[in-house]
Amino acid sequence: MIIDTHMHPTNIVDQAWRHDGEPFTGERTIEMMNGPYMINGKPRRIDYGCIMPPPGNSVWQDGMPGGREGIRKYMAYITELVQRYPDRFIGNFMYNPRFGPENGAKELEFHVKEYGYKMMKLHANMHAYRPDRALDWLRPVLRVCDELGVVVLIHTGDGPYSIPTQFYPIIREFRDVNFILAHFGVQTGGVYCFEALYMILDSPNVYGESGWLLQSRIVEFAQQMERHQLVFGTDSPPNEPGMWARELEVLCGPPPQGMNLSEEDLEGYLGNNMAKLLGLKPTPPPRTMEEAQARLLDTYATVDPVPAS
């Protein structure tokens, strides 16, 4: 299967990025996920999307309720989508400690137990806190992650509060929690991919997300990392998933652009590594065009089969 660890559907134009056009709803997201995307000559879809609100929608604004009520409000549309499309969407809880650390911890537990959320997102830049100093803001919610097996996705790649190593203190404190470094330390405001790499190499509970990482660095880093420590994430929207899938597919080619990666290991990067973290059953890649087409016709898929060449 293919699992995108990083998607932001919304029913309102996001409050920070202010993208043009109509809101990128859950239905538009599923249409995008259905593709199809050609990978090693076979049509594929993104089977699951791990979804969270755009981070700007989780920042307190005038007139917005605070505390647990405010958290539940900014998470409401994601919860609606997780319930409406359980075979396509997995909930990722956006944690903003400014609504109260204990409130956030209780709401994370509620969303996990009530709606099956499996992930939590930290975005220290959007929520304005220093993660290496605000440990008391992070510990309550991380204890819930530790207890319930929640995977933590961390926004990284730009200052002042999202440089990867700023999260080392909390990562070292919670060694049984799995952390994914979103964007692999790369954003428009900085390139901290080597920091992210060395954190991954040093820490068995730290993983890298492929999206935003430069293609030449993907092949360089993938050869040094354990095969299970790289996952597929696109930060869509605004990004288009197919281009990031292509940057992983190219690893199946010869050096220097590729590393002669097997299709089984590519399937790990595209989804099976994440499936194991989420407690889902991994699947092998489709062996034939017919098998690939059959998968596209599964529940919720709306694309027509691609003619065999």
Domain boundaries, the chain: 3-296
The predicted structure's pLDDT at residue 18: 67
Percentages (nearest 5) of helix, strand, coil residues in the chain = 45, 15, 40
- What digits encode the pLDDT tens for the residues 32-56? 999 999 999 999 999 999 999 999 9
Report the candidate in 49, 137, 146 with the shortest Cα–Cα distance to residue 99: 137
- Show Cβ contacts of residue 202 under 8 Å, excluding neighbours closer than 6 positions: none
Q: What is the pLDDT of residues 114-169, one digit of tens each?
A: 999 999 999 999 999 999 999 999 999 999 999 999 999 999 999 999 999 999 99
Q: How far apart are CA 127 and CA 122, in angstroms?
A: 9
Which token pair is 226? 């354990």
| Helix residue ranges per DSSP H, 187-304 | 193-202, 215-222, 241-249, 263-267, 273-278, 289-296
Burial 47-76 (b: 16+ CB within 10 A, else e): bbbbbbbbbbbbbeeeeeeeebebbbebbe
Hey, what are 212's tokens?
A: 């935003």
Whats the size of the chain, residue-wise?
309
Q: Is 206 exposed, middle or buried (0-12, 13-18, 19+ CB in 10 A)?
A: buried
Distance between CA atoms of residues 254 and 7, nearest Å: 31
Structural tokens at position 277 = 């973290």
Q: Which residues pair with 207 in a beta bridge?
A: 180
Helices and strands of the chain, counted as H and E runs: 12, 12
Distance (Å, whole) CA 223 – CA 39: 21
Classify domain 3-296 at the CATH class level.
alpha beta
| DSSP H stretches of helix in the chain | 26-34, 67-84, 101-115, 124-127, 135-148, 168-173, 193-202, 215-222, 241-249, 263-267, 273-278, 289-296
What distance in Å separates the CA atoms of residue 226 and residue 290, rounded to the nearest whole number? 32
pLDDT at 298: 66
d(CA 305, CA 275): 25
Residues 306, 223: Cα–Cα separation, whole Å: 33
For the chain, 309 residues long, the average pLDDT of each consecutive 10-residue run is 96 77 93 95 97 94 92 98 97 98 98 98 97 98 98 97 98 98 94 97 98 95 98 94 97 97 98 98 94 77 39
CB atoms within 10 A of CB 136: 9
Output the furthest CA–CA distance in the chain (Å, rounded): 59
Residue pair 97/164 in contact (Cβ under 8 Å)? The answer is no
Kindly report, residue by residue over 64-73, the tens digit of the pLDDT: 999 999 999 9
